[in-house]
Amino acid sequence: MDNCIFCKIINGEIPSTTIFEDNDFKVILDVSPATDGHALILPKKHYKDLNELDKSCSEKLLTIASKIGNGLMDTLGYEGYNIVQNNGEAAGQTVFHFHMHVIGRKKNGESILTWTPHNQEAEIRTEIGNKLKEALTKNN
């Protein structure tokens, strides 16, 4: 894909710190890490986002994610890790080549993912749930 920064990294046109590579994926370190070792799993094939991923790529992805997460824990002393994956500008996606963030975490470390939990009446949740259930069953 022309003008895709991650395709350029995969092709070696732009330098990166690569920590793992196989036929299908390249895993690099994020230039602006949330914590040390913050890794980005890049499929070598250009997919814009999760909706475009093919079955074979999706099937391999979580195996690589746990391998990287465990590598972060074993090597850098993390006690856990987050997987973050943004789809669409509204969700914070800034590079439109699918990627998965793997971020090492320590107890009492800086918080990196937060949201405000809102109170919600049960009837509203039921209404929303029914709407989603109907749509998802139709698309099945």
Q: Which of 10, 16, 37, 64 binds ligand AMP (CB under 6 A)?
A: 16
Q: Determine if 108 is a binding residue for ligand AMP (CB under 6 A).
A: no
CA–centroid distance for 52 within its chain: 14
Positive or negative CA dihedral for 44, 47, 48, 50?
negative
Residues 22/39/60/87 CA torsion (nearest 10 deg) = -130
**106: left (phi > 0), else alpha (psi -120 to 50), else beta?**
beta
State the minimum distance, in angstroms, from the CB of residue 67 to ligand AMP.
Answer: 19
Q: Which residues ranging from 22 to 51 are in contact with ligand AMP (CB under 6 A)?
A: 28, 30-32, 40
Instruction: Kindly write out the interface string for residues 55-94 of this chain, putting x where it contacts ligand AMP by CB under 6 A and - elsewhere.
Output: -------------------------------x-----xxx
The residues binding ligand AMP (CB under 6 A) are: 5, 14, 16, 28, 30-32, 40, 86, 92-95
